[in-house]
Amino acid sequence: MLKRAADLLRITVQTLFLDDGDLITACPQCKTQLTLANASTAEERGVTVYRCRRDQEIVALITPPGTVPVESSGYRLGDFVLRNRSDLILPLVSGNTVLLPASTNALHDWESLGT
Ligand SMILES: [Zn+2]
């Protein structure tokens, strides 16, 4: 089932009004700023994949947690891991923002996921 980053974050930070359109990041390849709602989404091998619409580069993944935690591979949110390849900005109702720094190892096991 396709999981959306906003659904996981809404539960974790208890922000009721949050949509993928509120989550701002950038494509790691073409550097275009985009919201996750602007990215294409698909489920590939049990993983939700957000891709840049310009160049199809992977922007973020939502995966099950790995059996072995890997440094900088993503953020554990409930039963899933959000792996954003560029910094991701989450606005709060208070007007503050939360920055989730890029997961530099976001794709570390991408080739073997779900196989
Ligand atoms: Zn791009």
Are 41 and 23 in contact by the 8 Å Cβ rule? The answer is no
What's the whole-model pTM score?
0.84
DSSP one-letter code for 42? E
Separation of 8 CA from ligand 1 center, angstroms?
24
SS3 state at 37: helix
Q: Domain ranges for the chain, please list them.
A: 5-112
Per-residue pLDDT of the chain (115 residues; tens, 9 = 90+): 678 888 887 766 665 567 899 999 999 999 999 999 999 999 988 899 999 999 999 999 999 887 777 888 898 888 889 999 999 998 777 788 889 999 999 998 887 775 5
Specify the pLDDT at position 114.
59
Separation of 28 CA from ligand 1 center, angstroms?
7
Specify the pLDDT at position 115.
53
Separation of 113 CA from ligand 1 center, angstroms?
22
